[in-house]
Amino acid sequence: MYVLAALRFALLGQLAALVSATVTDPKILDACPGYKAKNVINLGHTLSADLVLDGKACNVFGPDIEKLKLQVTYESKDRIHVKITDPADKRYEVPESVLPRPKADLLSGPLTSEIRFNYTTSPFAFSIYRSSTHEVLFSTASHPIIFEPQYLRVKTNLPANANVYGLGEHTDTFRLPTHNYTRTLWSRDAYGVPQGNNLYGNHPIYFEHRTTGTHGVFLANSNGMDIKIDDSEGTGTTLEYNVIGGILDFYFLAGSESDPTEVVRQYADVVGLPAEVPYWSFGLHQCRFGYQNYIDVSEVITNYSAAGIPLETMWTDIDYMYKRRIFTVDPDYFPLDRMREIVDYLHSHDQKFVLMTDPAIAYLPDEGYGPFDRGTAADVWLKAANGSSPFLGAVWPGVTVFPDWFNPKTQDFWTNEFKLFYDPNTGLDIDGAWIDMNEPSSFCNYPCTDPFEQAKQQDLPPARTSSPPDPDAPIFGQEPFSAKRHVKRVDHSGDDVQTPPYAIANFAGNGALSDKTAYTDAVHANGLIEYDTHNLYGTMMSTATHDAMLARRPGLRTLVITRSTFAGAGTRVGKWLGDNFSEWSHYKQSISGILGMAGIYHVPMVGADICGYAENTTETLCARWAMLGAFYPFMRNHNADTSISQEFYRWPTTTQAAKNALDIRYRLLDYLYTSFHQAKLDGTPVLSPLWYQFPKDANTFAIDTQFFFGPSILVSPVIEENSTSVDVYYPNELFYDFHTLAATQGGSTTTLTDVNFTTIPVSIKGGAVLPLRANSAMTTTELRKTDFELVVAPSSKGTASGSLYLDDGVSITQKHTTTVEFAYKGGKLTVKGTFGYPTGVDVSRVRFANTKSTPKTVRLNGKAVTPDKIAFDSATGVLDVTLGIPFKSSFTVELD
């Protein structure tokens, strides 16, 4: 019976895909009648109209809806909201409880807007154009809108060779291909993060960049969709949305004619500003799926210390659990008292601890498993299609249930489980939370008629393969390693939510929407079903976990790292890029991945598994990756139980590479912290592609092997295996080597040779004043006791600027802060600020790059500095001025 059902479903899926491919021929769709606008009411800041079907229905994937409602709102001078709905039917919309929407400025309108809405009535088509230049940014002309129960289609024209970015999550190039390219948005457990596939998260936002400006388009829709970009029709490049539900809910962002980062800030106005994270979270994190027992964990901590590599946070994957059940520890392999001993040791050494928590909870009625029993009593599980029994999946602990994040009681349940298991006095006192498998992932293909049999066939939970350690074995004494919510129910009666008429290109399992995840007909407490809300599950779990962590430590910032995200997730959590491989291609792809999350989607606390998660790394790959990873905002070494160990101390080259890169990172940590604070204030990205800063330079548009870390640090890693050289493009500005401060005039590609396996090319863009720690340290606590030094790297115009933000590093609301602005012009450095938070350290020196000679006089606050405190290097043009003054007030340094 099961085999026949699976075969039938597979055949239906293949048939649906075949029909989709045939019917979505652009010529067929562009021949559909579209709509005409009637009863137009234009009030200036708003416009509304009825859209009535303009001819014989196409009915490509269901009956065309005959009458729609158009609502256009000028929400601000740089944002237009266009919404098309079915007035006769309550269709699903992304709930504001998940994605709060910005309010409109009632004084906005076309006369003051930087972009404008234009339309034709018959056939109805609309366009968005830039007010200053009348340049069309988005246009549906010649492409009729199609609006059916389970299929929405909107298509716009793009320029030839368009520069389009976003539409994540993906592992494709940062600038998206424009030929026969499809981006599918449907969350899935994407082991191996393959190119061209749908992955864990969904961010239906794209930026389009032209030399005349940059704008953004956000579709606030969480249903499954294919977004196609193609130039093969012979009529130019087009971008087409094919959505299987919901409504058309567009936000058009004007961006800027001169500053691409302006559109990033405008997008933050829609989805929210990114979260500030604790200072310690920028340190090095170490994890592995495959630590066999608590002794393994303690040895790693000891070995990092012995190798002299600064380890800030130790992580533990699901290995610690008893039979893979969350909120448990294995009493033989990870006994609670020994794990508490490890946590106490870490905390006594100013280090931190993080554990994995999955959403899937073992289905164990009558077995005394507290989390299941308490969740069942509170009735917080996602329900099967019948609306009463819990939906069952098969995940690591075997047959499982899943929390329903729309249930108003689930937050209290989740918070209580965190309070119980992570109690500092009786449980494990974690400093951050790691959530995984929250697409949500299940190991069943649809139809999974018997999850109990599936769990049995897949040996879930998997048995231990090693003997438990001696429970009395000492830890931290081993010889160190020697290197060598409220929504009305949507009526889906008559809809096929398992095999919708239009088949998106879902790569999970056999391609069915319900493969390897919760079924699309699973029901939430508010009546919504997974068909509509699937892409929100990870973000909603993120919010619940953030709030649970906040309840544990009121007033303190949280670090929550998740796998699945939707628009707005970065307001509370960070993310890692999932289960990559130890391959050079994945090392390279990680750059575009972090640029997308931090530079577009507002999830700046992002990183990839350094050295690769699956398969075996090599000494040189791990060395290169350790150095690249030092410039991810979230820096974590993590790999799988089927791979060789890859902690940085395992190989001499990797050890030295990690030390060298961490030395740079830690000295830059306050600069990075300042960038995150600025992102929290206005949405300015903490990472950026080169074209964000050089928008007129067409050579930068496709570069995704270099990036800016913060506003001024250019990172240019070696990309090719076994290579010791790299081609670096320096845009037309001065750039300075981070170590020597030697200047290079940009404007061309330079081949850097002799880039050995412990070195990564890092440059300072001209025009920056950098606040650096004078030395690195083994922990961020120790680092904050280290003096500052300032580096002045003038632009080609001879000026430079920068900033520094300091606070206690952990509190959400700060009583005292220090904000400093640096400005250099005409040989004078001005340091001016408010010093509310005590730095407790000195400014040891100032380093002036690109100086022609020793000045006659150097003055500190108008008084001459003695010659013994001045040193000039004629080979590099660097002037060092020793100060040794307390960093607690404003000052000036003048070169005469």
- Smallest CA-to-CA distance from 632 within 707, 703, 711, 723 is with 707
Alpha helices in 274-320 (DSSP H): 294-307
Tokens of 828: 């004078």
**Three-class SS state of 836:** coil
CA dist 713 and 664 (Å) reads: 11
Q: Is 308 exposed, middle or buried (0-12, 13-18, 19+ CB in 10 A)?
A: exposed
Tokens of 383: 């329900």
CA dist 444 and 500 (Å) reads: 20
Cis peptide, bond prior to residue 685, ω within 30 of zero: no
Tokens of 820: 């400093």
Distances (CA, A) of 743 to 441, 697, 754, 765, 878: 50, 21, 18, 10, 10
CA dist 342 and 309 (Å) reads: 19
* Contact assessment for residue 565 and residue 538, using Cβ atoms and an 8 Å cutoff: yes
Distances (CA, A) of 724 to 175, 632, 708, 753, 759: 26, 22, 22, 6, 9
CA dist 266 and 256 (Å) reads: 10
Tokens of 34: 């579209």
Q: Which residues are catalytic?
A: 436, 439, 579
**Interior/surface letters 609-641, b for 16+ CB within 10 angstroms, e for the rest:** bbbbbbbbbbbbbbbbbbbbbbbbbbbbbbbbe
Distances (CA, A) of 582 to 51, 337, 590, 619, 661: 53, 35, 12, 11, 20
CA dist 669 and 675 (Å) reads: 10
* Contact assessment for residue 541 and residue 405, using Cβ atoms and an 8 Å cutoff: yes
Identify the DSSP state of 233. T
